[in-house]
């Protein structure tokens, strides 16, 4: 029997470790770039020196962000240690990408209103959740029916960044629109049941643990995709959640129509959520929990946004009259 190809081995090892499909695509992408960078040599023929050269190339020639360079490093360490069984020495000859402190783009309350007023209805609720609950767009689209508590006005975010769960608030203004969306999702769910479709997609481990879950209402996506999609693990056509691109494009178009002179993305709404809460006097630790940050230092960047313009110091020119 022939030995599995390298990328098949990588996929099998990632899936055995219950890594997400997004991580699988990312790691395979970096391993492929690493192999191509070295003239399609097999990783077994290479080692620490070639890894250092590739990572230095990313920092010096490509000028990638530190997080991007670390992502590539993690992918290659996984390849050598977990797939090839090779213990690498300490990688000390890597030119590191320089971390450039950046203040996030934040909208004023009026700019948020102007933006949301121009977001079309199919995307309005998703985008409103980013600002109203501090969600990442992937977290909003991955919401399942059982994660929504309309009575207590809260949402449970499952397997967020870093693999953590958290509970965040739900704006009362979104109760009725969200109830309407749940009714629409229920209609799709019942049509799928009547048609005998395999149900909704689940993470691989959950699908094994709860085999009946794909056809149970609490596990359905709040924002189901309009069409069935092929599951990358089983190859079966299932109901997945909507793709983020349509909503991201809606934000960009709305920002242009509103005439906003800022670089606005869907993530800008999450930044604005955090900044406006701190501006309203909420404790930084509370905001940290709502955002799901592991370290309060990450949340503290929003205090720098509020101190913009010389750390909140009033310019002497403002007191001189005309």
Q: Give me the CATH number covering residue 115.
A: 1.10.443.10
> Which of 203, 201, 205, 181 lies closest to 192, judged by CA?
201
Q: Which residues are 155's β-sheet partners?
A: 148, 168
**Is the same domain home to 200 and 251?**
yes
Q: Which pLDDT does position 315 carry in this prediction?
A: 57
Residue 101's pLDDT is what?
Answer: 64
- Among residues 144, 204, 240, 270, the one annotated as catalytic is 270
User: Quick one: 148 and 283 in the same domain?
Assistant: yes
**213 secondary structure, DSSP code:** G
Residue 47 CB neighbours (<10 A): 13
Last residue of a domain, one of 83, 101, 128: 83
- Respond yes or no: is residue 247 known to be catalytic: no
Q: Which domain holds residue 132?
A: 109-304
pTM of the predicted structure, to 2 decimals? 0.81
Question: What pLDDT does 307 receive?
Answer: 62
- Cβ-based neighbour number of residue 255 at 10 Å: 22
In whole angstroms, give the CA distance from residue 59 to residue 63.
5
Question: Are 75 and 141 in a shared domain?
Answer: no
Give me the pLDDT at residue 309, please.
46
161 labelled catalytic: yes
10/72 same-domain check: yes
CA–CA gap between residue 116 and residue 128 (Å, rounded): 7
Total structural domains within the chain:
2
Tokens 């005439």 correspond to what residue? 259
pLDDT of residue 172: 94
Same domain for 18 and 124? no
Q: For residue 310, what pLDDT is reported?
A: 44
Q: Are residues 53 and 194 in the same domain?
A: no
21 is catalytic: no
Residue among 11, 136, 144, 276 flagged as catalytic: 136
267 is catalytic: yes
* pLDDT computed for residue 209 by the predictor: 81
pLDDT along the chain (322 residues), means of 10: 81 87 92 96 93 93 89 94 91 78 86 96 95 95 96 91 86 96 97 92 77 92 93 84 96 97 95 92 91 87 67 55 53
- Return the half-sphere exposure (C-beta side, CA atoms, 13 A cut-off) of residue 55: 26
Active-site residue (options: 27, 34, 80, 302): 302
CA atoms within 13 A on the CB side of 80: 19
Provide the residue count of the chain: 322
Does some domain include residue 96?
A: no
> Catalytic residue at 204?
no
282 is catalytic: no
Residue 91, in any domain of the structure: no
Question: In this predicted structure, what is the pLDDT of residue 78?
Answer: 95
My answer on whether 39 and 79 are in the same domain is yes
88 occurs within a structural domain: no
């Amino acid at each position: 029997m022939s030995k599995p190809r390298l990328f098949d081995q990588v996929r099998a090892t990632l899936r055995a470790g219950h890594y997400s499909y997004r991580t699988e695509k990312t790691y395979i992408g970096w391993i492929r770039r690493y192999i191509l960078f070295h003239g399609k040599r097999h990783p077994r023929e290479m080692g620490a020196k070639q890894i250092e050269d590739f990572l230095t190339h990313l920092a010096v020639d490509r000028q990638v962000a530190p997080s991007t360079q670390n992502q590539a490093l993690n992918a290659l360490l996984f390849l050598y240690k977990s797939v090839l069984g090779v213990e690498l020495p300490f990688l000390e000859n890597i030119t590191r990408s320089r971390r450039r402190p950046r203040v996030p783009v934040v909208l004023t309350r009026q700019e948020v209103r102007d933006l949301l007023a121009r977001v079309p209805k199919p995307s309005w609720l998703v985008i409103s959740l980013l600002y109203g609950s501090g969600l990442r767009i992937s977290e909003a689209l991955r919401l399942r029916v059982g994660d929504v508590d309309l009575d207590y006005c809260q949402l449970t975010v499952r397997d967020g960044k870093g693999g953590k769960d958290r509970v965040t608030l739900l704006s009362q203004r979104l109760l009725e629109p969200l109830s309407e969306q749940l009714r629409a999702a229920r209609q799709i769910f019942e049509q799928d049941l009547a048609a005998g479709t395999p149900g909704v997609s689940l993470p691989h481990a959950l699908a094994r643990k709860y085999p009946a879950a794909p056809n149970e209402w609490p596990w359905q996506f709040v924002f189901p995709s309009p069409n069935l999609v092929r599951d990358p693990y089983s190859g079966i056509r299932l109901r997945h959640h909507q793709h983020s691109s349509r909503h991201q494009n809606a934000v960009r178009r709305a920002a242009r129509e509103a005439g906003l002179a800022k670089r606005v993305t869907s993530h800008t709404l999450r930044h604005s959520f955090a900044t406006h809460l701190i501006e309203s006097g909420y404790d930084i630790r509370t905001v940290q929990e709502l955002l799901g940050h592991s370290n309060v230092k990450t949340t503290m960047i929003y205090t720098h946004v509020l101190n913009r313009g010389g750390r909140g110091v009033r310019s002497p020119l403002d007191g001189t009259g005309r």
